[in-house]
Amino acid sequence: MQVSGVIARRSLLTAALAMVLALFSFGASNRVGLDQLARRRGLRWGAAISVEALEQPDLVQLLLANVGSITPENAFKWAATEPRQGQLEWKAVDQLMQFARRHQLQLRGHTLVWHEQLPGWLTALPADVRAQALKAHITRLMQHTRGAVSSWDVINEPIDPEGKGLRDTIWLQTLGADYIGTVLQWARAADPQARLFINDYGLEGDDPQTLRKRRALLDLIDSLQRRQVPLDGIGLQAHLLAPPEGSPPFTTLPGFLKQLRQRGLLVEVTELDVSDREVNGTIATRDRQVAATYQAFLQAVLSEPALQRITSWGLSDRQTWLNRAFPRRDGQPQRPLPFDTRLQPKLALHQIDATIRRARSW
């Protein structure tokens, strides 16, 4: 009697617990995903992803519930595709292409011409051979992914960090001052359907350095367009920094996006995340500052008709690159993305949701 009473109480408890869990997970899976929300505004939401992340079923599930587009975090970079000269590594590229195809996700190409994550053997080559190697790299990768990649970050981070014209890179030195025009022509020839982008960071704020960088980018665009060089859009990386208090205004950003639109260009936010490395205090304080920054930024960009897609650099704090690249002084892990390391929604996600729902559609 007593024993079965215990069992009965236990199974009642188990049933109640199961019901609560079911309700909870129903609530969670019933949430409208980010991409679904973005579509209501004529946009798509995407996320960067590594091939390693494809091995994590919980992360893949979160991804599929929230994105309509993926960007390979590292797999398409030259150091990954040709670590030894002439030895092409297509495995990771093909895995991501298959994943995108299987789940009907858009795929961004990232990135062809950059001064980082280059294979070591390149620097030893004489300049003319190196130029030919770049052309071969662009042509090969774009042809391999033809039809699967809708937009390519052909050139990554070409503007000088201080805004003094073009950044002095191996490619400027190899191909000369018009290297951007040259590689854009190569890219157009390799995959005529793909949209060709220039992608850069530090274009979102209101400080003098940002304004100088914008000016330098607009000058570059004007000179390319005068010479009828193919260029379809500009990517704003949007690696943002949450301020210690208050929220950054992004006052001048809508005007800048309009300048891009007036030049006939598309706009994408390509690598969105919000670092909390300068915010002290509790997790709640840090999360509030991060969420406020997402809100202010999205409010500034969402009403721009040229905006096509917003891609965050990962979806959960488990994936962030920031702890390696810009660690916090107190050694704590950062909380820059909409979901935490356990893939639970954070204030940032609620704020992103609310801002998209409130956004003006044109």
Least distance to ligand XIL, CB of residue 275, Å:
12
Catalytic residues: 157, 271
156 belongs to the binding site for ligand XIL (CB under 6 A): yes
Pick from 73, 191, 276, 287: which binds ligand XIL (CB under 6 A)? 73
Nearer CB in complex with ligand XIL: 32/79: 79
| Residue 81 found at the interface with ligand XIL (CB under 6 A) | no
Q: State the minimum distance, in angstroms, from the CB of residue 118 to ligand XIL.
A: 12
Nearest CA-CA partner of 183 in 142, 215, 145, 216 = 142
22-61 mask for ligand XIL (x: CB under 6 A)? ----------------------------------------
* Candidate residues 81, 237, 289, 293; the one interacting with ligand XIL per rule CB under 6 A: 237
Nearer to ligand XIL, 114 or 256 (CB): 114
Report d(CA 250, CA 203) in Å as an integer. 10
**229 vs 322 by CB, closer to ligand XIL:** 322
> ∠59-49-272 over CA atoms, to 5°?
105
In whole angstroms, the minimum distance from the beta carbon of 325 to ligand XIL comes to 7
Shortest distance, position 218 Cβ to ligand XIL, whole Å:
20
Closest CB 178 distance from ligand XIL, rounded Å:
23
Does the protein bind ligand XIL through residue 273 (CB under 6 A)?
no
Tell me which residue has its CB nearest to ligand XIL. 321
Q: Determine, following the binding rule CB under 6 A, whether residue 76 of this chain makes contact with ligand XIL.
A: no
Q: Which is nearer to ligand XIL, 115 or 350 (CB)?
A: 115
Closer by beta carbon to ligand XIL, 202 or else 248: 202
Told to check if 74 binds ligand XIL by CB under 6 A, we report yes
Q: In terms of CB distance, is 106 or 311 closer to ligand XIL?
A: 311
CB of 334 to ligand XIL, least distance (A): 13
CA distance 335 to 347: 11
| Residue 158 C-alpha from the chain's centroid | 17
Q: Which of 271, 273, 276, 340 binds ligand XIL (CB under 6 A)?
A: 271
Total site size for ligand XIL, rule CB under 6 A? 6
| Interacting residues with ligand XIL (CB under 6 A) | 73-74, 156, 237, 271, 321
